[in-house]
Amino acid sequence: MALFVWALPVAVTAAPFAAFVMDARTGKQIYAQNADTRLHPASLTKMMTLYMAFNAIERGQVRLDSKFLVSSHAASQPPSRLGLKPGQKIELRYLIRAAAVKSANDAATVIGEGLAGSEPKFAAQMTQMARALGMQNTQFRNANGLTTPGHYSTARDMTTLGRRLFYDFPQYYSIFSRRSADAGVAKVSSTNRRFLDGYEGADGIKTGYTRAAGFNLTASAKRGSKRIVATVLGGQSTAHRNAVMAQLLDAGFGKAPTRVREVKPEPPQFVAQKKVRRTVQVARSATAAPAPIVQLSSSDRPVARASTVAVVTPAAISAAVSKAQASAPASTASPGSTLDASARPIRKPGTGRVARVDVTAPALESAPRPEARPEEGDRSDAELAPAGARPVPAPRDDKSAGLEPTEPAGSPSLFVASVEPQAESMTLLASAAPPQRSETIILTSLKPEEGDERLATEIVTRDGSTGRNWGVSLGLYRSQREAEQLLLRTALQESGSLDSALSRVATTRRGYEANFVGMSRETAELTCNRLAVRQQSCKVIGP
């Protein structure tokens, strides 16, 4: 349903206005006006303070006769107050009565400090509970609702909280309908008794007022099988707030169906995080064949040396080849055959280069270390391996990384494999196992979310004079109340055509003119055409 600005004389409006009407049986919206605008909730905050107290009692954290200590901070809260003194101890039942009936700020602060240890911690818990109840545009900074930066809520969220009080704690809900109560140190009277006495079926819930917030009220009423919950924020006086609330509840009872399936709210949905232990393991495929190991059958494995070319003497070559020939099977090659025509195998990626070392050179043992070679793609295969030379098998894995096979004695040249160390590939296998992580399930901290500070936005008054400059006039009326009632009735009946129009009552010498403004020309003409069908006088007004 579209949102509408309530018909208030602009010159005397104390604060931004918002309203929301809900069918308590289903939680469905009936009427909304600036319902998600973040405004000062004032003492409507105490509804959450009391919700937290009821929840603590039901969980066994405290009892109604538990005594709470009054701090100097709580005792110094401004009116409305019960008159508590620092160091005094008072039962929780009396604090609940004083906060719910009289809206005592000192009593609400004592409740918060007694349940959480300090008011800031309690405010953080209140905000966390609000999120669990689905109140996405609410943030609390104290337990009583006094104006504080970053402390805000909306008409929709406060209505949601009022419904939750009725359904979640029906055993305590009657406290909100009391006209007076014994608060231990004094008998207190209800701040909501005028509305409770003046509206048929009303049984709660809570009033609120500060200069920044205006006159606020969340109310609940029952008629027959219907129950309506509504919130008004920013009323200009107690009488005006109560009158607007009565009209909203009347409209709600008129639009709510008589028979409907009751849908009770779900339990609070707290967010939980579970820490899962994860272990990183390196496993080889079960189907993969082991890599072949290239080594001399009877030779000892030499120690791998990083980035060097081994120096081999002719005597060592002869001894190694003799042992290899003695243990090798008989060759089928004819005498004098060579490997000049053999194909050069493809090197495996990551292996070192093959360097050619002339064994006939007289200074082989003192040969200098070769210069750094260019990348593999910079040289041809002919330059890397001359024709007629026997290729040397590349190392297959870490076990053969340091092996340097040689050619038989008498060959014109010797090829020695220089393999770069594969240190990086062995790092994971050699590293220690990661520390075990906890399986503990940790609930989200009740501290305010890190993003909450960014949510605290400046509260401003909307001005309907900007934007679209067309509107409609419904005529002049003798009293402001008559004009307001017509605008509300029309807003509920023509929500589709009015779109986001703003309603205003203009005071003139001839009477009170009921207007909808902030419309496009097409919307204004459409609205007048629809109202003409209802036999309602209407005139398009332009800029």
The pLDDT tens digits for 18-34 are 999 999 999 999 999 99
The Cα–Cα gap between 396 and 290 comes to 10
Closest CA to 219 of 239, 211, 227, 359: 227
The Cα–Cα gap between 324 and 443 comes to 70
**Token pair in block for residue 147:** 């104006």
pLDDT tens for 486-528 read 888 888 777 777 767 888 888 888 888 999 888 888 888 888 8
Task: Give the DSSP H or E segment for 219.
Answer: strand 214-223
Residue 132 near residue 64 (C-beta atoms within 8 A)? no
Residue with tokens 């008559």: 482
Lowest mean pLDDT among 235-244, 313-322, 420-429, 486-495: 420-429
The pLDDT assigned to 320 comes to 64
Lowest mean pLDDT among 178-182, 206-210, 226-230, 498-502: 498-502
Q: Is 511 left (phi over 0), alpha (psi -120 to 50) or beta?
A: left
**Percent of the chain topping pLDDT 70:** 60
Mean local confidence (pLDDT), 472-480: 89
pLDDT tens for 357-405 read 444 444 444 444 444 444 444 444 434 444 444 555 555 544 434 434 4
DSSP sequence for 44-72: GGHHHHHHHHHHHHHTTS--TT-EEEPPH
State the virtual CA torsion across 475, 478, 479, 483 in degrees, nearest 10: -20
Residue 158 near residue 47 (C-beta atoms within 8 A)? yes
Helices (H), 178-313: 193-198, 238-255
Q: Which domains does the chain have, with CATH numbers?
A: 1-259 (3.40.710.10), 463-543 (3.30.70.1070)
Mean local confidence (pLDDT), 66-85: 96
The listed range with the strongest mean pLDDT (220-229, 316-325, 371-380) is 220-229
Angle value at C-alpha 204, between 481 and 32, nearest 5 degrees: 55
Mean local confidence (pLDDT), 272-297: 47
The Cα–Cα gap between 229 and 247 comes to 13
Lowest mean pLDDT among 119-123, 182-186, 190-194, 477-481: 477-481
The Cα–Cα gap between 117 and 108 comes to 13
Residue with tokens 């990551």: 350
Sheet holding 28-33, edge to edge: 28-33, 18-23, 226-235, 214-223, 202-210
The listed range with the strongest mean pLDDT (266-280, 440-454, 468-482) is 468-482
The pLDDT assigned to 245 comes to 97
Instruction: Write down the mean pLDDT value for the chain.
Output: 76
Angle value at C-alpha 404, between 383 and 401, nearest 5 degrees: 100
The pLDDT assigned to 516 comes to 87
The pLDDT assigned to 346 comes to 63
The Cα–Cα gap between 516 and 197 comes to 33
The pLDDT assigned to 432 comes to 63
Q: What pTM does this model have?
A: 0.55
Above 90 in pLDDT, residue 146?
yes
The pLDDT assigned to 18 comes to 97
Q: How confident is the model at residue 314 (pLDDT cuts 50, 70, 90)?
A: low
Mean local confidence (pLDDT), 45-74: 97
Residues forming the active site: 43, 46, 103
Above 80 in pLDDT, residue 172?
yes
Above 90 in pLDDT, residue 238?
yes
Comparing 23 with 340, which gets the higher pLDDT?
23
The pLDDT assigned to 51 comes to 98
Distance of CA 177 to the CA centre of its chain: 37
Residue 311 near residue 369 (C-beta atoms within 8 A)? no
- Annotate 196-217 with b (16+ C-beta within 10 A) or e (fewer): beebeebbbbbbbbbeebbbbb
The Cα–Cα gap between 515 and 486 comes to 10
Above 90 in pLDDT, residue 210?
yes
